[in-house]
Amino acid sequence: MTYTYSEFRFDNDAKWGNNRLPGAPPHYLRAEILYRNANGFYIGPNVEWMPQAFFADNANTLTVDPYALLNFKVGYDKGTGWSGYIKARNLLDTRYISSTVTVGRADPTMGLFNPGTGRAIYGGVRYRM
């Protein structure tokens, strides 16, 4: 599990006062429960959660909505030889903003937001000696 807490603010700025700095969520969590078998097989769900909105502009007038993603992975890895995995992301096909360009004062019609990836499946293989 990883958790990030961010409390970034302007410091008595002439224009923005003590507003929160835009572009960084105050809280962000990634957690995973993974079952690993001695034969190299692993399987389990994981979540990414941004529980609180963050600002997209210095004026603190426009926010990025919170979101939660449910993911799942399965694979095989013995440490040497062949290994592989399949990972499913955003299983619930949640619509969310993954990142934003920050500006001084934003309005909702500006093209500031980058959408997050919808439901997707990734896979990979590798060989180690």
**pLDDT (tens digit per residue) in 38-84:** 999 999 999 999 999 999 999 999 999 999 999 999 999 999 999 99
Cα–Cα dist 81/79, whole Å: 7
How many distinct structural domains can be found in the chain?
A: 1
pLDDT at 109: 87
Domain range holding 22? 2-128
Percent of the chain with pLDDT over 70: 100
